[in-house]
Chains A and B, each alone.
Chain A
């Protein structure tokens, strides 16, 4: 793992190459300019295609007229806020509330568990440490589609089927192995000397954790919370099976009732997609640095 990063990369040496002349240098500069313009062209082409759906949805969300099917042009003839006001009169605000409730609860539970366990895996020595995380990660590879049968039965057994509490239990407690793994890697990157110093001062594990580790991993906590929130926000398969009451749907599942194939309220759906995406987009870009670091520190280990 260590050897193939910095030191082990082979640098091929090609012997005896004629020194570059001045005129060659000139043309190399020109060629770089040309390269940069070619790259710009490719990037812009890619961006136009990639952002087409986003622009399209934004346009349609302000479109008046028949709410049902696609129309030939996606540039609205009349700009209107009708779609948005219709949305706010329906079930939409309730779905937003449900999503917030689910996402925030599950985010907190995930972060709490992942931090404690990540600390133990990173700093403490105990039996089962070596394969504990591997075991957690493998168990979590059960397809959710497999677990959902059992979830259904379990929630039914304790009369929590079709309740938001049941869903919070499943999502909050059911899925933090990846979080533990990322948190462990993050805590690994905090210098060991810091908590050694605390131990020398006579601090307990808990104290060392609370005063040394916790403040340093706060960026990761925020990142994990956001991941937890977005994970629940994006869940569809399990949610639709465990909830049957549209009043209890989170936003993404509720909005699906606008977009299904043969009964499409397309302009309404687009307005909902815009409203439902904006907060996530904003949070993502505000916290982007944390999120990227949180993921890549765990992912890139060399």
Chain B
């Protein structure tokens, strides 16, 4: 109910709402910084200072055990360790990129598919389905990811394996074999993500002007050409900006890995489901090497930041009407 209720607003927002608003005259110049002061100060203290500090630590051998002052400058040693041949970086980078691409396409694709189904004009009870389908979004990630951890458990009596046995299949060692563990990560991630894309997709679909379809009908356009020429372009317009942010988010997504498989299966160096972000995280405490973790994190940051800047330039999504 609520989403269909909200969609006219979304529809109104479809024209370039943000970009046409012209900034006020220059007399407001100075007071702007008053409004911005809190966020500037907190960004300096809680984001930029840690950033610089981390960058600095990535050139040292700082160690949590040394605590304060007992560390020294080691130059590029940590970065050499990161990129060392035979190390974790390249295999983990490979899976990180694969994970990012697959999970983004699957999450967005399934969300859009459900939105298309829900948008069928003959489906009068669509709000029932929509409400049920949106539930994974409404539940707290931190608790439900632990539930998924229980479901994708290796034991033969774990919920999923019990079902598999019931329908005559063999139980699966979900976190001990590479392919099942990767499947589990992708499946759990899909579960958490599809409701958002379904909602956005449905809003975008309902914002498509009816007359477009009527014109298409007059032209005798079939189902396929209606979809290809009207529905799909509209969906794409709504989703394109989200695809990039979703991909960037997933590249960085350490939480789902740490909480679901903790990188398993694999060695102490790295696991088959480890992403660069989860590897960096595990380096802090499991390997007791925060300065190496800092180097990892900084490399991840450079990848993401260049990704974002290229995206911003290409799509001009951050540009204002000058």
Contacts and interface: CB of A to CB of B under 8 A. Distances in A.
Interface stretch (B80-88, B100-108, B231-239, B265-273): B231-239
A144 B254 contact: yes
Interface in B236-293: 237-238, 241-242, 248, 252, 254-255, 258-259, 277-278, 280-281, 284-285, 290-291, 293
Contact of B146 (A134, A154, A174, A256): A256
B39 interface: yes
A132 B40 CA distance: 10
B132 A281 contact: no
A141 B305 contact: yes
Residue of B36, B129, B318 most packed against chain A (CB within 10 A)? B36
Given A142-B47, A281-B135, A284-B138, A126 B32 contact: yes
A224 interface: no
Pick from A4, A184, A188 the residue with the most CB of B within 10 Å. A188
Interface of A: 1-2, 4-6, 9-14, 17, 32-33, 35-36, 39-40, 42-43, 46-47, 50-51, 53-54, 56-57, 69-74, 112-114, 116-117, 119-120, 122-127, 129-134, 136-154, 156, 169-170, 173-174, 176-177, 180, 184-185, 188-189, 192, 205-206, 230, 233-237, 241, 251-253, 255-256, 259, 261, 264, 266, 269-270, 272-273, 276-277, 280-281, 284-285, 288-289, 292-293, 295-297, 299-302
10 cross-chain pairs, A with B, having the tightest CB-CB distances, nearest first:
A146-B297, A17-B220, A252-B142, A150-B50, A125-B23, A284-B138, A173-B42, A126-B32, A289-B2, A120-B35
Interface of B: 2-3, 5-6, 9-10, 12-19, 21-26, 28-33, 35-36, 38-39, 42-43, 45-51, 53-54, 57, 64, 67-68, 114, 117-118, 120, 122-123, 129, 131-144, 146-151, 153, 155, 157-159, 162, 191, 196, 199-200, 203-204, 209, 212, 215-216, 219-221, 225, 228-230, 233-234, 237-238, 241-242, 248, 252, 254-255, 258-259, 277-278, 280-281, 284-285, 290-291, 293-294, 296-298, 300-301, 304-305, 308-309, 312, 316-320, 322
